[in-house]
Each structure stands twice: as structure tokens, then as C-alpha cells.
């Protein structure tokens, strides 16, 4: 299945059904009075986050979501049926904005729902307008139109740890070794063309989720290469692993590789530079002892926690995972203890307040 992380889609909630203008007419019951029922509410368009989804492919093909209208009211005080709400399942981490870019919902947890377009309320039947001075109202209300517009959906993956690095740094090999992810692996740059998630399991049964994004190049934060489109997938991570190829085929120095990626993180913004980063020196099995010592000396000025590893042989992987897991647990605990201080994403829950119809909105002549 093709990986789709951005979708533009039209949504249209159902219109409310019109109220009925009717009078009770039964034998032997004179002056039965008005008995027109209310129209039914139009259906909502609801988006729900689900861990069973990992791409917006379904909506990419669908393009348009139109909800059902409410039905009209009838005589004998029969109310119209409400439209059946449409619930669309999207991956956890989906951000929904309107065409002007305003945030409608940020679905960061499994099961959270957002009403993106509310159905129009049904019109009131003439039975609602009966008073002591107007005992035979002959008017009713039409239903209100449902909300409609263009929604822009953007998927930002939810993971504890994000992998960043230049093309062919060994990120795909690394994630395939430490997790259940199985990305494509080859000996040429840009093998990875779409982000992938993997679950890392620790000895105690717990673990963390790790995300691999396509390799970055200079100018990625400005959209060059696969850049800006995929950097967003590590925005939500708690920790970044900066993977560097110590045996770069073109002889690019480790310092140059580090500076290039750090420059892209800085260019993207504080969202990424504020995250803790661990430096992972990959392919160490390709170096002899003398070269290893030179590599470790070269990276000292960066003052980053450093882990010499080999994703192929497994060298240093166990200790790295233990330290990463400990850091993830620490950050999770901090977030739990300071939940009130951390800004939470805007999310619309499934609670729709009743809409009061403005008095005098419908006059006798216009509503008959």
C-alpha cells in the first residue's frame, strides 16, 4: 500500500429536516390542534484516531465525504429521523485543519474522536408554536444546513524515538535489527521512501516505538529532497537518535555529517532542537582500533552521549537500547507529573451543544 500522509478532502454534514405543519383531524374530535413534528438532525462527519490505520490512503482515494440529511417531520407529532453519522478512521497522530489553516483537531490518542462538520439541526414543527393566543399556527421551520468545507489532513507519526541521519547511514538496518519493522534495505541512498514504525520490546515486556524517516540532505528543512515533508514525523518523538556512518563511502567526515543534520534540525525549528539527541556511530565493525580511537576523538567537541554500534553485527546495540528505554521512561514520567503544565493539543470530543434557534428567525409568511 502506498504511504499517504497528506490529504485534501471535502466534508459535508447533513442538513436538518424541515418541521411539519399539520393539524390533528379525527372523527368526533373537533379542533384537534396542531400536531406537526420536528425535523431530524443532519448527520455529523466524525474523524476517529485508530491504531489499526497507518496511512491516509483510504481518504486519498475517497476525496469527498457527504453525510446523510435528517428527514422531515410528520403529522401526529412524529419527528423526523436523524441522519446516520459518518465516522472516518484515521491513523493516530492525524492533524486536521480547515482550508485557512486553522486547527480543528489533533488526534494524538487511540479512540479520540472529533466532529469536524456538525449536522444542521432540524426545523421545529407547528406544534411547537402553539400558544394561548395563537392556537392554530400554520407555519413551521425549515431545517438548518449542515457545516461544509475543505479539510486538510496531515499525518504526524506517534513514536517515542525518531531516527535521523544522512541517506545510507544505516537507519533501515538499525530499525530492522532492534524492532519488528521490516523496511527495504539496499546499498544505495534513499532506499527508504516512506517513514516506518517499529516496536522495540525489552526484557520486562515493556518497550517503546521507534520511527525511521527517509535520509535527509542539505536544505531538507526547506523542502529539498524528501526533507520537510518527513521531518514532521519526528516532531512528536520524545528522543532523537542521530545515526552517523563512520565508514561513509564518499569519505565524508563524521563532523561534516553531524553538522549537516544538526543544521537541518535547527532550520526546522525549536520543535526538534529542544529534544534530547543521542549520537549513534554506526558501522563501527568496519574500523580497526586505531580508526575507532580517531573517530571517538573527533566527536568529543559535540558533547553528545555517544554510542559506537554496528547494526549488522549487533555490537553495542544492547546497551544503546537499555539507555534509550531508560530515557524514554524518564521522559514519560516527567510528562505524567507535569501534565498540567504541558500544552495539550486541541481536540474536539463527541459533545455537541444544543443550538438554540434565534427567536423571530422564522416569520409566518416565510415559513408557510
Q: What pLDDT band is residue 164 in, cutting at 50, 70 and 90?
A: confident
What is d(CA 129, CA 134) in angstroms, rounded to the nearest whole number? 8
CATH code, domain carrying 297: 3.40.50.300
CB-CB neighbours of 173 under 10 Å: 20
What is d(CA 277, CA 163) in angstroms, rounded to the nearest whole number? 10
**Residue 261 corresponds to which cell in the numbers above?**
543534520
Q: Looking at the structure, do residues 10 and 146 belong to the same domain, yes or no?
A: yes
Name which residue leads in pLDDT, 343 or 250.
250
Amino acid 351: pLDDT: 38
Q: What pLDDT band is residue 38 in, cutting at 50, 70 and 90?
A: very high
Q: Looking at the structure, do residues 172 and 110 belong to the same domain, yes or no?
A: no
Would you say residue 349 has pLDDT above 60? no
Give the tens place of pLDDT for each residue, 259-277. Answer: 888 887 888 777 787 888 8
Q: Looking at the structure, do residues 142 and 243 belong to the same domain, yes or no?
A: no
Would you say residue 112 has pLDDT above 60? yes
Q: Looking at the structure, do residues 16 and 138 belong to the same domain, yes or no?
A: yes
Query: Angle at Cα 327 formed by Cα 221 and Cα 292, nearest 5°?
Result: 75
Q: Looking at the structure, do residues 175 and 98 belong to the same domain, yes or no?
A: no
Q: Looking at the structure, do residues 91 and 184 belong to the same domain, yes or no?
A: no
Amino acid 48: pLDDT: 93
Q: Let me know: does 31 contact 168? Beta carbons within 8 Å.
A: no
In this structure, are strands 6-12 and 64-66 parallel, antiparallel, or unpaired? parallel
What is d(CA 25, CA 194) in angstroms, rounded to the nearest whole number? 68
CA 106 from chain centre, in angstroms, equals 6
Q: Looking at the structure, do residues 226 and 182 belong to the same domain, yes or no?
A: yes
Q: Looking at the structure, do residues 121 and 203 belong to the same domain, yes or no?
A: no
Per-residue CA distances from 236 to 216, 232, 260, 274 (Å): 18, 8, 22, 12
CATH code, domain carrying 65: 2.70.210.12
Helix (H) or strand (E) holding 86: strand 86-91
Amino acid 158: pLDDT: 75
Total domains in the fold of the chain: 2
What is d(CA 173, CA 266) in angstroms, rounded to the nearest whole number? 26
What is d(CA 10, CA 59) in angstroms, rounded to the nearest whole number? 10
Amino acid 333: pLDDT: 87
Kindly report the pTM of this predicted structure. 0.68
**Residue 115 corresponds to which cell in the numbers above?**
466532529
Residue bearing cell 465516522: 87
Of the spans 42-46, 100-104, 225-229, which averages the highest pLDDT? 42-46
Q: What percent of the chain has pLDDT over 90?
A: 21
Name which residue leads in pLDDT, 340 or 147.
147
Q: With the C-alpha atoms ordered 229, 234, 240, 246, is the resulting torsion angle positive or negative?
A: negative
Give the tens place of pLDDT for each residue, 141-163. Answer: 999 999 999 999 988 877 888 88
> Measured in Å, how far apart are the chain's first and last C-alpha atoms?
54
Q: Looking at the structure, do residues 59 and 113 belong to the same domain, yes or no?
A: yes
Q: Looking at the structure, do residues 303 and 174 belong to the same domain, yes or no?
A: yes
Per-residue CA distances from 77 to 20, 24, 329, 356 (Å): 9, 9, 59, 20
Three-class DSSP category at 244:
strand
CB-CB neighbours of 288 under 10 Å: 7
Q: Looking at the structure, do residues 6 and 23 belong to the same domain, yes or no?
A: yes
Q: Looking at the structure, do residues 89 and 168 belong to the same domain, yes or no?
A: no
What is the span of the domain harbouring residue 231?
Answer: 161-337
Amino acid at each position: 500500500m502506498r504511504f499517504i500522509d497528506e490529504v485534501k478532502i471535502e466534508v459535508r454534514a447533513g442538513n436538518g429536516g424541515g418541521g411539519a405543519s399539520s393539524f390533528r383531524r379525527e372523527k368526533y374530535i373537533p379542533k384537534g390542534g396542531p400536531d406537526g413534528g420536528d425535523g431530524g438532525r443532519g448527520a455529523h462527519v466524525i474523524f476517529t484516531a485508530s491504531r489499526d490505520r497507518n496511512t491516509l490512503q483510504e481518504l486519498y482515494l475517497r476525496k469527498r465525504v457527504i453525510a446523510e440529511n435528517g428527514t422531515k417531520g410528520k403529522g401526529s407529532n412524529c419527528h423526523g429521523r436523524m441522519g446516520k453519522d459518518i465516522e472516518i478512521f484515521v491513523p493516530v497522530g492525524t492533524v486536521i485543519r480547515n482550508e485557512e489553516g486553522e486547527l480543528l483537531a489533533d488526534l494524538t490518542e487511540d479512540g479520540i474522536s472529533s466532529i469536524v462538520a456538525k449536522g444542521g439541526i432540524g426545523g421545529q414543527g407547528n406544534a411547537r408554536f402553539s400558544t394561548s393566543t395563537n392556537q392554530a399556527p400554520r407555519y413551521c421551520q425549515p431545517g438548518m444546513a449542515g457545516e461544509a468545507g475543505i479539510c486538510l489532513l496531515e499525518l504526524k507519526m506517534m513514536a517515542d524515538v525518531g531516527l535521523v541521519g544522512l541517506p545510507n547511514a544505516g537507519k533501515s538496518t538499525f530499525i530492522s535489527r532492534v524492532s519488528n519493522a521490516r523496511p527495504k534495505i539496499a546499498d544505495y541512498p534513499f532506499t527508504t521512501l516512506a517513514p516506518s514504525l517499529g516496536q522495540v520490546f525489552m526484557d520486562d515486556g515493556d518497550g517503546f516505538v521507534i520511527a525511521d524517516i527517509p535520509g535527509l540532505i542539505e536544505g531538507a528543512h526547506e523542502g529539498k529532497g524528501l526533507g520537510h515533508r518527513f521531518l514532521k514525523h519526528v516532531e512528536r518523538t520524545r528522543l532523537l537518535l542521530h545515526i552517523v556512518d563512520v565508514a561513509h563511502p564518499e569519505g565524508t567526515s563524521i563532523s561534516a555529517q553531524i553538522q549537516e543534520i544538526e543544521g537541518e534540525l535547527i532550520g526546522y525549528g525549536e520543535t526538534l532542537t529542544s529534544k534530547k539527541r543521542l549520537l549513534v556511530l554506526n558501522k563501527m565493525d568496519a574500523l580497526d582500533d586505531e580508526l575507532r580511537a580517531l573517530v571517538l576523538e573527533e566527536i568529543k567537541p559535540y558533547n553528545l552521549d555517544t554510542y559506537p554500534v554496528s547494526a549488522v553485527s549487533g555490537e553495542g546495540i544492547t546497551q544503546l537500547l537499555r539507555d534509550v528505554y531508560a530515557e524514554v521512561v524518564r521522559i514519560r514520567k516527567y510528562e505524567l507529573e507535569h501534565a498540567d503544565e504541558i500544552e495539550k493539543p486541541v481536540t474536539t470530543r463527541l459533545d455537541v451543544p444544543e443550538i438554540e434557534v434565534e427567536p423571530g428567525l422564522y416569520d409566518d409568511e416565510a415559513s408557510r
